[in-house]
């Protein structure tokens, strides 16, 4: 089970030492806020990038599921006709592989197997 992300407000980073009221303290506080703003903007950009990657993967999965559904429907309608190429995708690479025809058994008699029990 996955934990849901925290929905609380993002609190500013707090300095443990109280600052004196001075111009230098104001500039320090502005600098700290600028750094925090840059950090939050970078985090937001990373989230947007990750969201785009997730959307691309979801659309790829939908497309592959549709192809599998279509091919399974074709196989149910005509079991003798099998596709000659297989689509293999890994990440953003897609390859088509030629399927070799499977040889049919020569004799109609199944081979006789002798079963035995092995105890230990």
Convert the pLDDT of each residue in 95-105 to its tens digit: 666 666 666 65
Bridge partner residues of 95 (DSSP): 88
Q: Delimit the domains of the chain by residue range.
A: 23-97
Do 19 and 30 meet the contact criterion of CB atoms below 8 Å apart? no
pLDDT digits (tens, 9 = 90+) for 9-66: 877 766 667 777 889 889 998 999 999 999 999 999 999 999 999 999 999 999 999 8
Q: What is the distance, to the nearest Å, from the Cα of residue 38 to the centroid of all Cα atoms in its chain?
A: 28
Q: What is the distance, to the nearest Å, from the Cα of residue 111 to the centroid of all Cα atoms in its chain?
A: 45
Quick check: 110 pLDDT over 80?
Answer: no
Average pLDDT, rounded, for the chain:
78
3-state secondary structure of 88: strand
Q: What is the distance, to the nearest Å, from the Cα of residue 62 to the centroid of all Cα atoms in its chain?
A: 12
Closest among 32, 40, 31, 34 to 9, alpha carbons compared? 40
């Amino acid at each position: 089970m996955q934990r849901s992300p925290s929905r609380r407000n993002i609190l500013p980073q707090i300095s443990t030492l109280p600052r004196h009221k001075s111009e230098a303290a104001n500039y320090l506080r502005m600098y700290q806020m600028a750094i925090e703003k840059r950090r939050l903007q970078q985090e937001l950009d990373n989230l947007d990038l990750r969201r785009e990657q997730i959307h691309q993967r979801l659309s790829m999965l939908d497309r592959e599921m549709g192809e599998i559904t279509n091919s399974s429907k074709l196989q149910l309608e005509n079991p003798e006709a099998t596709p000659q190429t297989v689509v293999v995708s890994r990440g953003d690479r897609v390859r088509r592989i030629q399927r070799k025809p499977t040889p049919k058994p020569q004799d109609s008699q199944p081979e006789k197997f002798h079963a035995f029990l092995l105890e230990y």
